[in-house]
Amino acid sequence: MDTVAVAPSKRPNVLEGVTPYHWAVVGVAAAGWVFDCMDQRLFALCRGPALRELLHGAPDDVVGTWGGWATAAMMIGWATGGIVFGAMSDTLGRRTTMIVTLLVYSTFTGVSGLAQGPREFLVYRVLTGLGIGGMFGAATTLVAESVPDAFRSVALGALQALSATGNLVGSVLSTRIQPGGEHVVFGMAGWRVLFFVGLVPALLVAPILLVLEEPAVWRAARRRSRGAARPSFGPIRELLGDPRGRRNLLVGIGLGLAGMAGLWGIGFFSPELVSTALRDQPQTVTDSVRGWGTAAQDVGSFFGMLAFTLVATYLGRRIAFAGAFVLCIATTTFVFNELRSATDAYWMLPMMGFAQLSVFGGYSIYFPELFPTRLRGTGVGLCYNTVRYLAAGFPVALMALNRAFLAAGSPEPFRRSATLLSGMFVVGLVTLIWAPETKGKPLPER
């Protein structure tokens, strides 16, 4: 009997065919998302001090309630911007959308520093959220369509991992310009100065214009749509009308809701957890620990997203998501129950950051792989941002539970509230039952 020699399988070379332009695309797109995340971190750190001043020294539970509403307001803007700008990126282009969203989020982050009342502050957060929501979809879609297939998961994972650098910059800035400080610059409070720093990302418009091009696959899809009898470039109804597109959209929403609700409803309240643990310490000490503690959390986030990228690249997307959600449940519950000191903050918060942000590395890799080119911006925008309408209720729910436990005389109401809400990560595990595996497959074109 004749035998056929089978060549041993080789692990793909993820750098094959990668050019300097591909690296430039990843670098510039990552910079847009890095600054976006810096603004998010500045908000999380400035939220309490800003509202305490704008509410004229109201009790902590009132400030916390307004903080929940401010977070919800930004997430609603984020969701709306993601959907609107996602469709815009399919119609007008990825690069154009990046420029518009960059200008929106940087402008209104800066304007937040001018707020004179809590309601005005909430309006500015909604407007900031519009730009933040649009940047992710435009940046990830542009990278996914610009780089070779074998390099795609590494490029997108690196883009998301580098976003932790933005969070880290925001955290370190808060240790130099303390959000609760008074008369820091020209008589202005520290939180106002930090929001003004959020104007700096607008300078990134120049390299976006000079370096980036619209992806070839997008240009080709655009030409096909113009020649069609019935234009079908990017409509939401087409995505919802296709059975596979509809299923993949629901999978993305389920995965996104679990991570988004867990991070913004619980994880990004780590500054408030530190304040709870250090309530007997002077404000300057608390501000310092909050800044350096969240910086440590951001370092953990960076390594969590890198770890997810490696697992997703070599073992598969579904395995990576499953491991990440299990870690989220375990670390979030542990940290919100056991963090009692400054030392605890420095080693516990990185653990929680590693777990909670690792799934966001998965979103940047996985969501663009679920949809064809003509609908990719719309699909990614819906997956990553529709869930924010649902997740926006979680910061409010956290503070409502806190008030309910407090009224009932329960010890440590804030910690108990966070522990209860951490059950949301189970939604992500259940969603994986229907999630398709995309490892090793090219981006769908039709």
Q: Strands, E, within 154-249: which ranges?
A: none
The predicted structure's pLDDT at residue 446: 61
Question: Is residue 1 over pLDDT 60?
Answer: no
The predicted structure's pLDDT at residue 192: 93
Report in angstroms the alpha-carbon separations of 373 from 97, 129, 148, 252, 435. Answer: 16, 26, 15, 17, 20
More confident: 160 or 344: 344
More confident: 8 or 67: 67
Tell the residue number behind the tokens 């064809």, with chain if given: 372
The predicted structure's pLDDT at residue 4: 42
Q: What is the pLDDT of residues 171-221, one digit of tens each?
A: 889 888 888 877 667 778 889 999 999 898 888 888 888 888 888 888 887
The predicted structure's pLDDT at residue 162: 79
Strand partners, 264: none
Question: Is residue 18 over pLDDT 50?
Answer: yes
Report in angstroms the alpha-carbon separations of 71 from 1, 67, 190. Answer: 70, 6, 20
The predicted structure's pLDDT at residue 11: 56
The predicted structure's pLDDT at residue 10: 53
Least confident residue range of 54-68, 149-163, 286-300? 149-163
The predicted structure's pLDDT at residue 152: 83
The answer for residues whose C-beta is within 8 angstroms of residue 428's C-beta and 6 or more apart is 254, 255, 257, 258, 259, 321, 325, 328, 359
The predicted structure's pLDDT at residue 282: 87
More confident: 437 or 216: 437
The predicted structure's pLDDT at residue 228: 55
Which residue, among 134, 111, 106, has the nearest Cα to 122 in the 3D structure?
A: 111
Q: What is the pLDDT of residues 350-395, one digit of tens each?
A: 999 999 999 988 888 899 899 887 777 778 778 877 788 888 888 8
**How far apart are alpha carbons 143 and 124 in whole angstroms?**
30
Question: Is residue 244 over pLDDT 70?
Answer: yes
The predicted structure's pLDDT at residue 379: 82
Q: Is 443 helix (H, G, I), strand (E, B) or coil?
A: coil
The predicted structure's pLDDT at residue 226: 66
Tell the residue number behind the tokens 């130099």, with chain if given: 176
The answer for residues whose C-beta is within 8 angstroms of residue 8's C-beta and 6 or more apart is none
Helix pair 342-366, 270-277: axis angle to 10 deg: 170
Please report the domains of the chain, with CATH numbers, ordered by start residue: 20-220+233-431 (1.20.1250.20)
Q: Using the 8-state DSSP alphabet, how is residue 184 labeled? A: -
- Compute CA 60 distance to the chain's CA centroid, rounded to the nearest angstrom: 27
Tell the residue number behind the tokens 């990278």, with chain if given: 143
Which residue, among 345, 375, 117, 145, has the nearest Cα to 242 in the 3D structure?
A: 375
Cβ-count burial of 350 within 10 angstroms (0-12 exposed, 13-18 middle, 19+ buried)? buried
Question: Is residue 123 over pLDDT 80?
Answer: yes
Any alpha helices (H) in 392-424, and if so which ranges? 393-407, 413-421
- Is the distance from CB of 383 to CB of 332 less than 8 angstroms? no
The predicted structure's pLDDT at residue 127: 92
pTM attached to this predicted model: 0.74
Q: What is the mean pLDDT of the chain?
A: 86
Tell the residue number behind the tokens 């009342």, with chain if given: 117
**How far apart are alpha carbons 63 and 67 in whole angstroms?**
6
The predicted structure's pLDDT at residue 6: 42
- For 213, other C-beta atoms within 10 Å of its C-beta total 14
Question: Is residue 8 over pLDDT 70?
Answer: no
Question: Is residue 431 over pLDDT 70?
Answer: yes
The answer for residues whose C-beta is within 8 angstroms of residue 82's C-beta and 6 or more apart is 133, 134, 136, 137, 381, 382, 384, 385, 386, 388
Q: What is the mean pLDDT of residues 295-300?
A: 92
Q: What is the pLDDT of residues 249-282, one digit of tens each?
A: 999 999 999 998 998 889 988 988 999 999 888 8
- For 232, other C-beta atoms within 10 Å of its C-beta total 13
